Amino acid sequence: MSASPVSEPVLDVQDLRVRLRTPRGPADVVNGISYTVGRGETVAVVGESGSGKSVSVLALMGLLPDGVATVSGAARLDGEDLLTMRPDRLREVRGPGIGMVFQDPMTSLNPVLTVGRQLVEGIRAHADVGKAAARERAAELLAEVGLPDPGKALDRYPHELSGGMRQRVMIAIALSSSPALLIADEATTALDVTVQAQIIELVERLQREHGTGVVWITHDLGVVAGIADRVLVMYGGRCVEDGTVDDVLEHPAHPYTRGLLGALPDLAEPRADGSVPDLATVPGTPPAPTDLPAGCVFWPRCPVRADPRCETEQPPLAVLGAGGGGLPHRAATWCTEEAR
Ligand SMILES: Nc1ncnc2c1ncn2[C@@H]1O[C@H](COP(=O)(O)OP(=O)(O)OP(=O)(O)O)[C@@H](O)[C@H]1O
Ligand code: SF4
Ligand SMILES: [Mg+2]
């Protein structure tokens, strides 16, 4: 977590929309999300399964299947729009400029190159170092992500490693080029808590030393509280609430966020053991992106809907008071005083 995010953004996403062609018709998976990630800042993206978190970041990277996805809006990385970039330029930028860690490590590891080779390439893309020094740094990085016997692991191919080891290798590769932006999609979910803490520490160091901006997608509220400066809550492909981590976790305004946090007694019973609830406590199911409701996207599940506009009009993101640290706290709902 950075102490004080600065205003010049590394990433500036404006009105991002993704429509996918599916056998059941067009699916509106991402419906106009806007956010920025400042230098050294971490933005956590949360929301139930299917809310469009992964698709929203795959769209930024140009990694959605051609002919299936229609992407619009803008996503500027250090001022350059990723969405209109030529494919060769995008490949160039994606390598050293953006580190990516996805749910499935095999999607971003190269199966025909050894772990060492992939790491050395990343390190040399960023720093003017010889092969031997880069290999030494590669082994250090593997040790830093908690991989046992890093020297040996350098000569292994991805398929020779266990799932947990592959995950850690992928994180090491993503960090190896000290990227301007790191996108982590459930990057540490499968790892045990000690390794997870080690990796979070490593990411924070990278942020301090290189000002890396981070987009961290997770279901784990403990991780959000520990790593995020700001939180963006997605539902039905929309941002329903965003703000500083303190504003969103301590003063959630949108009924969906309150449900996720177990803060709305009607929606979720607090756990007897006092543990932090998982982000899956709202009764009912999210809407299918092929069949989004008119009006507020949450209304079919909303326990407090009272406004006649809920079922007909989409509430805009309204600023709720000043927000912490001068950053706005916003929610898309008709049901708070400030948002009316
Ligand atoms: N290639 C695809 N073709 C058609 N539909 C897709 C495709 N990829 C994703 N979807 C649909 O888009 C919606 C959003 O998916 P996405 O993977 O972004 O969700 P998510 O928020 O990342 O969920 P999770 O928390 O489970 O990872 C889902 O309804 C999913 O079924
Ligand atoms: S706008 Fe209406 S339906 Fe949507 S969250 Fe607020 S009260 Fe519920
Ligand atoms: Mg996902």
Q: State the average pLDDT over residues 71-98.
A: 91
Pocket lining: 120 vs ligand 1, CB cutoff 6 Å: no
Q: State the average pLDDT over residues 10-16.
A: 97
Please report the pLDDT score of residue 103 as a whole number: 75
Residue 214: inside a domain: yes
Query: Closest ligand 2 atom to the C-alpha of 297?
Result: 4
CATH number of residue 84's parent domain = 3.40.50.300
Please report the pLDDT score of residue 38 as a whole number: 95
- Which is it for strands 330-331 and 238-244: parallel, antiparallel or unpaired? antiparallel
Q: State the average pLDDT over residues 260-265.
A: 63
| For the chain, percent of residues with pLDDT exceeding 70 | 90
Q: Which of 3-12, 77-86, 242-251 has the lowest mean pLDDT?
A: 3-12
Residue 52: inside a domain: yes
Q: Which of 9-13, 38-42, 78-82, 190-194 has the lowest mean pLDDT?
A: 190-194
**The last residue of a domain, from among 176, 197, 232:** 176
Number of domains the chain is built from: 2
Ligand lying nearest the CA atom of residue 280: 1
Residue 20: inside a domain: yes
Q: Are residues 233 and 122 in the same domain?
A: no
Please report the pLDDT score of residue 262 as a whole number: 76
Residue 270: inside a domain: no
- Which is it for strands 98-101 and 181-185: parallel, antiparallel or unpaired? parallel
Query: Closest ligand 2 atom to the C-alpha of 254?
Result: 5
Q: State the average pLDDT over residues 154-170.
A: 91
Ligand lying nearest the CA atom of residue 25: 1
| 151 Cα–ligand 3 center, Å | 32
Please report the pLDDT score of residue 95 as a whole number: 74
From atom 7 of ligand 2, which residue's Cα is the shortest distance away? 305
Pocket lining: 19 vs ligand 1, CB cutoff 6 Å: no
Please report the pLDDT score of residue 151 as a whole number: 94
Q: State the average pLDDT over residues 266-289.
A: 61
Q: Are residues 89 and 156 in the same domain?
A: no
Q: Are residues 138 and 172 in the same domain?
A: yes
Q: Are residues 167 and 181 in the same domain?
A: no
**The last residue of a domain, from among 176, 201, 219:** 176
Query: Closest ligand 1 atom to the C-alpha of 50?
Result: 19
Please report the pLDDT score of residue 281 as a whole number: 60
Q: How far apart are CA 9 and CA 155, in angstroms?
A: 38
Three-point CA angle 277, 282, 283, nearest 5°: 130
Q: How confident is the model at residue 1 (pLDDT cuts 50, 70, 90)?
A: low
Q: Are residues 154 and 198 in the same domain?
A: no
Mutational test site, ligand 2, from 238, 298, 320, max ligand atoms within 8 Å of CB:
298
Q: How confident is the model at residue 274 (pLDDT cuts 50, 70, 90)?
A: low
Mutational test site, ligand 2, from 257, 304, 317, 336, max ligand atoms within 8 Å of CB:
304
**The last residue of a domain, from among 176, 191, 219:** 176
With a cut of 60, say whether residue 233 has pLDDT above it: yes
Residue 113: inside a domain: yes
**Residue 19 lies in domain:** 11-97+177-263+278-339
Please report the pLDDT score of residue 164 as a whole number: 84
Q: Are residues 32 and 90 in the same domain?
A: yes
Full-prediction pTM beyond 0.75? yes
With a cut of 50, say whether residue 5 has pLDDT above it: no
With a cut of 90, say whether residue 184 has pLDDT above it: yes
| 340 Cα–ligand 1 center, Å | 32
* DSSP collapsed to 3 states, the chain: CCCCCCCCEEEEEEEEEEEEEECCEEEEEEEEEEEEEECCCEEEEECCCCCCHHHHHHHHCCCCCCCCEEEEEEEEECCEEHHHCCHHHHHHHHHHHEEEECCCHHHCCCCCCCHHHHHHHHHHHHCCCCHHHHHHHHHHHHHHCCCCCHHHHCCCCHHHCCHHHHHHHHHHHHHHCCCCEEEEECCCCCCCHHHHHHHHHHHHHHHHHHCCEEEEECCCHHHHHHHCCEEEEEECCEEEEEEEHHHHHHCCCCHHHHHHCCCCCCCCCCCCCCCCCCCCCCCCCCCCCCCCCCCCCCHHHCCCCCCHHHHCCCCCCEECCCCHHHCCCEECCCCCCCCC
Q: Are residues 168 and 187 in the same domain?
A: no
Buried b or exposed e, range 147-180, using 16+ CB within 10 angstroms? beebeebbebebeebeeebbbbbbbbbbbbbbbb
Under 8 Å between Cβ of 142 and 169: yes
pLDDT digits (tens, 9 = 90+) for 201-228: 889 988 998 899 999 999 888 889 989 9
Q: Are residues 130 and 168 in the same domain?
A: yes
Question: pLDDT averaged over the chain?
Answer: 87
Q: State the average pLDDT over residues 67-86.
A: 95
Pocket lining: 307 vs ligand 2, CB cutoff 6 Å: yes
| 236 Cα–ligand 1 center, Å | 11
Q: Which of 57-61, 142-146, 236-240 has the lowest mean pLDDT?
A: 142-146
Q: State the average pLDDT over residues 54-79.
A: 94
Ligand lying nearest the CA atom of residue 185: 3
| 13 Cα–ligand 2 center, Å | 25
